[in-house]
Structure 1
Amino acid sequence: MTLGFVLLVHTAFDRAEQVARYFAANDCPVVIHVDGKVKQRVFREFRDRFKDDPAIRFCRRTRVEWGTWSLVRATQEASTRLLEEFPEVRHVFLASGSCLPLRPVAELRDYLDERPETDFIESVTTDQVTWTVDGLETERFTLRFPFSWRKNRKLFDAYVRLQRRLGLKRRIPETVSPHLGSQWWCLTRRTLESILQAPDRAELDAYFSKVWIPDESYFQSLVRRFSTCIESRSLTLSKFDVYGKPHIFYDDHQPLLERSDCFVARKIWPRADKLYQTFLDDNRPVTRRGEPNPGKIDRVFSKANERRGQGRPGLYSQARFPSPGLENGITAARYNVFCGFEDLFEEVQPWLARRLGGRVHGHLYHPDRVQFAGGETVINGCLSDSAALRDYRPEQFLTNLLWSTRGERQSFFFGPNDQPEIGAFLARDPNATLVVISGAWAVPLHTSNMEFDEVKTEAARLQRAELAFLRELKAPGVAARLHLWTLADFVVNPKEKVNNVMREITGPGPRRLTDLPEIRDLSAFPVFLQKLRNAGMKPQVMGSFDGH
């Protein structure tokens, strides 16, 4: 009986009972502290389950609150009783009700017996701490924290600001060397008794009771005063996310937990039946184990933290909808937007589909309906062709489309007659390739059968819309790959310009572009532009046609 456990329990009592009985069955006494906030009836029922086991005891209860002295006091109460009632114990292991042994407890006992004078506790000086999240380091020892960070956050923050403004600082006791570390430790009897029976304990307790999150500093600091051999690490595997919240382990984490070679892990999901069945079975096949090393799985958790903090490019959810500029990629895949091509060329959509592969849609932002490729009414991701649904969230419509069809390049047409809200989004998306022939929308107008006054009105409307779009394309912060020509510039050598675009989109090929769709008849177009000028409208986006 050289190893004893202190269990801090506040929920999942059935799992805490399993673990406590497992320790006791392996000749390890256990003292359990049940949170004082637990109803007396629930506590009595839980305590009565252990009447038949003399190796499991309970200590006086304390109402525990995160980040306060109550957690240290609960640990003191349980540790004191364990040391008093089980004098054979040489090491005390602090765990919670959500902890689970990953290796047979006999291996842990043998490991500690080989190191009878070693204290295992993470204990680092405040200037070396890099893991605090939105917290205080040195100031947690020099300021006072009488208010709860969780329950009275405004008072907590206001009092901290007041102390800083007035320059108020507490005196750190001379016998204290401020250190921080994980709450979960394994200490020798000699060190733990020295801490609990220190002649100046009352003064130390009064000081640490006003330290912020004292369970991360009380034992971590005092162990430096009394221990003769410290290994500054915890034997408990405990991982935290980017917000400082502990990772919860589920059944599918079993291989990861085994790979760590750690003796104990927290925090285990209470309904992870497979984990409890596996790790509480000492008859399971023995695997080759090495020194406990949580670093073996750090890469996995680093990637998980990165994904949780940054998300996946182009994937949005209600749980992770970042502010503009913090999206980690606003769309999931490369795509192409062609402006003016369908106005200038005959049958350009099937030609682009042959050249580019993937899907070439019509006008996804047409005012009447979404023009999916092939006339589809519903596409991947259950996106419908409803203009009303699309216009409710035009940017998310596109991001959902690209996420749902990733692996297949998407292309679509866009023009001044389409819903304009998406324009700024396209301009700042580095995944977008924008191929714009400004003024091409006027080509079908000049051959239309509308009255000229109607044509002039429509031309003025479309030009205003395109000018607004062009301003967005020329604004600071444009990240899209942009190919922009006026209509007059483009028709001078269209094959060369289109060939350059195709090479950028599909990559360099062995042959140059030799065919283009037929360009609509532009012989009367300069006259049409002059007619617009004569009628009082100034064409601005078409470029200069010789002689007009």
Structure 2
Amino acid sequence: MSERLGFIMLVHTGLERAAQVARFVAESGSPVVIHVDADVDAAAHARFTDALSDLPDVTFARRHRCEWGTWSLVAAMQTAAHQLLQAYPKVQHVYAMSGACLPLRPIAELAAWLERHPDTDFIESVNVADVNWTKGGLSEERFSLWFPFAFKKHKWLFDRAVDLQRLLRVKRDIPDGIVPHIGSQWWCLTRETLDLILRDPLRPHYERYFRHVWIPDESYFQTLVRLHARHIESRSLTLGKFDHQGRPHVFYDDHLQLLRRSDCFMARKVWPGAGRLYEHFLTRRDAPLSDAEPQPSRIDRHFARATLQRVRGRPGLYMTSRFPVKNRENGKTAEPYSVFQGFAEVFQDFEGWLSAVANCRVHGHIFAPHKVEFAGRERVFAGGLSDSATLRDYNPRAFLTNLVWATRGERQCFQYGPGDTQGNNHDLLWFMATDSNAQISVISGAWAVPLYRSGRDFAELRREAARLQRIEMRMLEILQSPEVRARVRIWTMAEFLENPAEPLHTLFDEIAPHSQARLIRIPDLVDLSGFGTFLQELRNQGMQPVLMGDFPLGPVSPGPNHRMK
């Protein structure tokens, strides 16, 4: 029997579940006084009381019409608490709970635990000056302004009243002798402390003040307990977690093991449809009583991780429920990837070579104007990505982030150059350049090699070379911007070809840092015989190629460093 422990319960929704919990508590030997919100219709109220009519230790308090954040909730608790103390003189601790609370351990374990703390009041009571977790922009102001309007029902009037009082610099006088404290409204107080609060001769004076405090159910008992308690433990015995916006976490069936691990006596807020939770925790078991201490900290890290994921999300994951603000994402993409500019132009079969030596997925120009050049030239790639340029260009950034997200665990490499889709104001390159996951390697001027080998009309080649050079010059400006967060390496074509093995070795080590293989041979260069003459002819025709570096007029050979030692 647990008759030295009594409960008051505030109910406004989920009446069937509240009836289950009240029956569980009462059949454990603890009296329960229930306050049912006056807004609950008569038929539902009658069904609720009838369902518990066979339990003599379940009684009902005079009803108040309750509104969130108003004095009515304190009045309901006062009425229920007074009735409990009057009707049950043996009760030494009073536990406040709601209809959405669920006992996680037998009531007898809670009663035995409280017997070991006979003079202790368990109530979260924190000086408002020291609180950093209040939400809604009101901390000390909830005690210094007047709040005549309900926040949820009259939001516009509530906000205008606050604005006007701020403008007029209104400041209410706090009653002498009290220091405002706030905390959870779900407390467990000793009979002595609760009785002193209810019988305090200054109670009418305090009530006149707290009637116009915002959310007084989180401050009335929390403040007055400081006047009357002999020993306070500033914590609630009810497990309740809140998100970053101050809204309570709701517990569902898949939280069963988490709740069991906490060893807490009560949990709030439990979804009425969580049948598995109610069945498990309200089933009586013949087992020795446990004297384990409540350990909510055991599950705190799970909620901290959930809050972090809700606020920041997962790197590279874009979703409709939390689309990030530009440049404030938790990582633009999911994993590292490599972008090569000019490599496929100066090396033969660069894609096949890199794929073989680095064991990664190497694509062609995935932003080529005509189509997406996936590895192996697949038409549909991971994540259902199509090779259609039209679909890709609808949102090129999303195409890239989806590609990296859908292939997590496998490094993606692709070619990108001035001949590819640039987007408005080079927004795609800006996206990659400011992405810390990107590794961008550039051989400037290499776009001229395909022109040289094309055999097209020279006047046409000169115009195209001028166009591509203008684009690449803008690209290089972006990649050299102080806003860049990507790992960027830039070589002129002449500089790179002096010793191609060294930069390729560096890139290989970054792409495959854990590879046991060594880079034995670099890929073969394309035939660049006459390329210097081609560049000179462009100059002769009035176009000045400047991005290739000091390229020789004679034939280019890889020299002695072509093979790695």
Q: Normalising TM by the smaller chain, what interval?
A: over 0.9
Please tell me the residue identity of whatever aligns with 2:521: D
1:69-468 → structure 2 map (5 Å cutoff): 69-283=71-285, 285-286=287-288, 288-421=290-423, 422-468=428-474
Distance in 2 between residues matched to 1:56 and 1:343, nearest whole Å: 84
Instruction: Indicate the SS of the match to 2:417.
Output: coil
Residue in structure 2 matching 1:520, options 513, 517, 526: 526
Alignment correspondent of 1:498: 504
The CA deviation string for residues 280-301 of structure 1, in whole angstroms up to 9 with x for no partner, is 1221655854212312222222
Instruction: Indicate the SS of the match to 1:360.
Output: strand
Displacement of 1:113 in angstroms is 2.8
Alignment correspondent of 2:559: none
Residue in structure 1 matching 2:9, options 1, 7, 10: 7
**Is the CA contact 2:104–2:267 (under 8 Å) kept in the aligned structure 1?**
yes
Instruction: Flag the 1:510–1:11 CA change in 2: closer, same or farther, 3 A.
Output: closer
Please tell me the residue identity of whatever aligns with 1:378: V
**Is the CA contact 1:336–1:433 (under 8 Å) kept in the aligned structure 2?**
yes
Distance in 1 between residues matched to 2:286 and 2:466, nearest whole Å: 80
Normalising to structure 1: TM-score of the pair?
0.94
Please tell me the residue identity of whatever aligns with 1:70: S
Residue in structure 2 matching 1:543, options 525, 540, 549: 549
Alignment correspondent of 1:484: 490
- After superposing the two structures, state which structure 1 stretch, 224-233 or 52-61, moved more: 52-61
Please tell me the residue identity of whatever aligns with 2:339: V
Displacement of 1:151 in angstroms is 4.2
Between Structure 1 and Structure 2, how many residues are aligned?
548
Distance in 2 between residues matched to 1:508 and 1:192, nearest whole Å: 66
- CA RMSD in angstroms comes to 2.2
Distance in 1 between residues matched to 2:438 and 2:140, nearest whole Å: 48
The CA deviation string for residues 206-253 of structure 1, in whole angstroms up to 9 with x for no partner, is 211221221111100011112222222111111112221112222222
Displacement of 1:265 in angstroms is 0.8
Displacement of 1:407 in angstroms is 0.9
Distance in 1 between residues matched to 2:513 and 2:114, nearest whole Å: 62
Displacement of 1:482 in angstroms is 0.8
Instruction: Flag the 1:218–1:286 CA change in 2: closer, same or farther, 3 A.
Output: same
Distance in 1 between residues matched to 2:311 and 2:514, nearest whole Å: 37
Instruction: Flag the 1:361–1:199 CA change in 2: closer, same or farther, 3 A.
Output: same
The CA deviation string for residues 390-435 of structure 1, in whole angstroms up to 9 with x for no partner, is 2222212222221221111111111112221321111011111111
Alignment correspondent of 2:563: none
**Is the CA contact 1:19–1:100 (under 8 Å) kept in the aligned structure 2?**
yes
**Is the CA contact 1:260–1:295 (under 8 Å) kept in the aligned structure 2?**
yes
Instruction: Flag the 1:453–1:147 CA change in 2: closer, same or farther, 3 A.
Output: farther
Distance in 2 between residues matched to 1:359 and 1:83, nearest whole Å: 73
Distance in 1 between residues matched to 2:28 and 2:406, nearest whole Å: 53
Displacement of 1:202 in angstroms is 2.2
Displacement of 1:154 in angstroms is 4.7
Residue in structure 1 matching 2:481, options 466, 475, 486: 475
Identity %: 53
Displacement of 1:503 in angstroms is 2.1
Please tell me the residue identity of whatever aligns with 2:34: I
- After superposing the two structures, state which structure 1 stretch, 400-409 or 294-303, moved more: 294-303
- After superposing the two structures, state which structure 1 stretch, 501-510 or 533-542, moved more: 501-510
Displacement of 1:160 in angstroms is 3.1
Instruction: Indicate the SS of the match to 2:340.
Output: strand
The CA deviation string for residues 319-362 of structure 1, in whole angstroms up to 9 with x for no partner, is 12111232121211111111111111111110010121121111
Alignment correspondent of 1:530: 536
